[in-house]
């Protein structure tokens, strides 16, 4: 990704409503459905600046991979040990069959051959291991944000399941999330196209609005995976070998 993306991530990942609420939602989802064993070995691929690593660390011993040098340096400080730089899909030097959980949180959309990448992730799993996947939803919501983040695609439920199954995996507990704010997000994307102001700036809004969005988004932590949610900005699922 462009340098500015990681600079913004490092500046805002502890305060921006999206990062903060999303971590809580994914933590609750993983707690309910991940069946992560005690003392699990966990690998986050594409960890960026490492903002998810403390959350994942609640479930076991975490390793991480990030190919961008500057982001990797920040993530290494947060993790307290070196973060690797093995690229997908081959992941050279990463031991096969060694992880109980692999997390790819808004990563798969960056990879041209998503099926090959998922196969590479699957090769790292211990028996009973799982991949936690989160991706952006709805190709029609494509915007400057996707361009600056070097996305290859946004997913539908069907297209994500198709890629997972093509990799020899099966999807479980697949659901939309960030649904409560979806109408606002969709309206903003459409308005941006109509006005020619399709902006990639994802800095947090004013503090009161940031707090409001965080509170609304965080409400979904009680619903994700439990009840069907209306279309959302993102999709989350667990993938495991058939």
Please write the tens of the pLDDT for every residue from 70-100: 999 999 999 999 999 999 999 999 999 999 9
Parallel, antiparallel or unpaired: strands 60-65 and 40-45: parallel
Please say if the pLDDT value at position 196 is more than 90: no
Return the pLDDT at 12. Answer: 84
**Cβ pair 50, 12 in contact under 8 A:** no
Q: pLDDT tens, 50-60?
A: 999 999 999 99
Q: How confident is the model at residue 203 (pLDDT cuts 50, 70, 90)?
A: confident
Q: pLDDT tens, 94-117?
A: 999 999 999 999 999 999 999 999
**Cβ pair 133, 237 in contact under 8 A:** yes
CATH class of the domain whose range is 3-241: alpha beta
d(CA 160, CA 47): 20
Per-domain residue ranges for the chain? 3-241
Q: In what order do the strands lie in the sheet with 125-136?
A: 60-65, 40-45, 99-105, 125-136, 234-241, 169-177
Q: pLDDT tens, 22-48?
A: 999 999 999 999 999 999 999 999 999
Return the pLDDT at 201. Answer: 65
Per the model's pLDDT, the better-predicted residue between 11 and 50 turns out to be 50
pTM higher than 0.75:
yes
d(CA 63, CA 150): 24
Please say if the pLDDT value at position 2 is more than 70: no
């Amino acid at each position: 990704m462009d340098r500015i993306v990681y600079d913004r991530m490092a500046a805002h990942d502890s305060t921006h409503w999206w990062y903060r609420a999303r971590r809580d939602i994914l933590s609750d989802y993983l707690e309910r459905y991940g069946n992560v064993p005690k003392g699990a070995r966990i690998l986050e691929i594409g960890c960026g600046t490492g903002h998810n690593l403390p959350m994942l660390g609640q479930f076991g011993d975490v390793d991480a991979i990030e190919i961008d040098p500057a982001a990797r340096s920040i993530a290494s400080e947060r993790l307290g040990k070196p973060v690797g730089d093995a690229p997908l899909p081959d992941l050279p030097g990463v031991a096969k069959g060694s992880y109980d959980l692999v997390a790819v949180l808004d990563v798969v959309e960056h990879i041209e051959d998503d099926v090959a990448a998922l196969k590479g992730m699957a090769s790292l799993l211990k028996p009973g291991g799982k991949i936690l996947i989160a991706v952006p939803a709805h190709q029609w919501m494509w915007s400057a944000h996707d361009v600056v983040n070097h996305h290859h695609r946004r997913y539908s439920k069907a297209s994500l399941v198709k890629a997972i199954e093509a990799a020899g995996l099966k999807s479980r507990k697949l659901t939309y999330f960030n649904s409560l704010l979806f109408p606002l997000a969709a309206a903003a994307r459409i308005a941006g196209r109509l006005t020619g102001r399709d902006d990639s700036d994802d800095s947090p809004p004013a503090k009161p609005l940031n707090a409001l969005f965080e509170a609304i988004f965080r409400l979904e932590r009680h619903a994700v995976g439990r009840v069907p949610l209306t279309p959302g900005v993102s999709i989350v699922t667990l993938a495991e070998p058939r």
